[in-house]
Structure 1
Amino acid sequence: MILLKLAAGMVGMASLLHIMILLGGADWYRFFGAGEAMAILSEQGSSYPTLITATIAAVLATWSVYGLSGAGLLPKLPLRKIVLAGIASIFLLRGALAIPVVLVSDSPYMQELADKMTFMMITSLICLFIGTGYAVGTYRLMTADRK
């Protein structure tokens, strides 16, 4: 369960990073790939970037808690195996498909991301690692029940 512990820790750090982005404002939105539109909305005092970023932080925190539960560091949570499999799938899909989607899409935001290919490669690799950690952990939980 070492991979799942590590992956859950990384997701927890990503949640904290999103909280830091909330505090950092527009420049942080730009640096971390949220797009110019989100940065401008943040500069204008719109609540939209705050709501979206806070929601992402909450989802990531929840996913981290589920990962820690799956790794045995926290009590068993409801639907743990199904949720962990879903989290693994989302991270693996994000890691595998983000770059191809960015390259074929013609939306302004995707164009911004296409211009930040180093960022896209790094975040995609991170997502693949996290997804693998959750997938391996989920597999081990499911096979442990059969023994």
Structure 2
Amino acid sequence: MLYVLAGLADLILALLHVLVIVVGGDAYIFLRAGKVMAAADVAGDIWPALLTLAIATVFLIWSLICFWAAFKDRFGKMVRVLVGLIGAVFVLRGSALFFQFFGLTLFSDGESPVFRDFAFSSLALVIGALHLYAAYRNQRLRR
């Protein structure tokens, strides 16, 4: 069940990134991708959409790995390690919360963090913890 929840979280993130591509410049600004990226999107450049699609693809692959772990026992240890690594990436992303809290970060436009930055980092920590706990719990159950 934990793997399914982790996979759903990854899938939602993938779909949100696809939605950002559809919405365009305003979504890039809201998600703190930067004014340069938003302006390039508004100007009709394709690179912001390609970059965002690449990120969405990574989240989709992570989702598939979690669903694989939930429903297939084949390659069990390798899949658990992959889910653990995915969790570690999320935790690393979420660790920006510490730097944001103490005002040690600036974003690509030189702006200080706002509330949603704290929310995004906190969410990354929660999703990372979910992945790590799923991999840890599954490893303990298989002994």
For this structure pair, what is the TM-score category when the shorter chain's length is used for normalisation? 0.7 to 0.9
- What does the per-residue CA deviation read over 1:29-72, in whole Å, with 9 as the maximum and x for residues that have no partner? 11121111100110111121011100000000111111222223
Aligned to 2:18: 19
Contact between 1:7 and 1:129, CA under 8 Å: does it hold in 2? no
Aligned to 1:49: 48
TM-score normalised according to structure 2 size? 0.85
Aligned to 1:92: 91
| TM-aligned CA deviation for residue 82 of structure 1 | 2.1
Partner of 1:92: helix, strand, or coil?
helix
Distance in 2 between residues matched to 1:142 and 1:110, nearest whole Å: 43
Gaps of 5+ in 1: none
Partner of 2:32: helix, strand, or coil?
coil
Q: In structure 1, which of residues 130, 134, 139 is the aligned counterpart of residue 136 of structure 2?
A: 139
Identity rate of aligned residues, in percent? 26
Gaps of 5+ in 2: none
Distance in 2 between residues matched to 1:77 and 1:58, nearest whole Å: 22
User: CA 1:110 to 1:104, structure 2 compared with 1: closer, same or farther past 3 Å?
Assistant: farther
Write the letter of the residue equivalent to 2:139: M
CA RMSD of aligned residues (A): 2.3
TM-score normalised according to structure 1 size? 0.83
Distance in 2 between residues matched to 1:76 and 1:55, nearest whole Å: 27
Count how many residue pairs are aligned between Structure 1 and Structure 2. 141
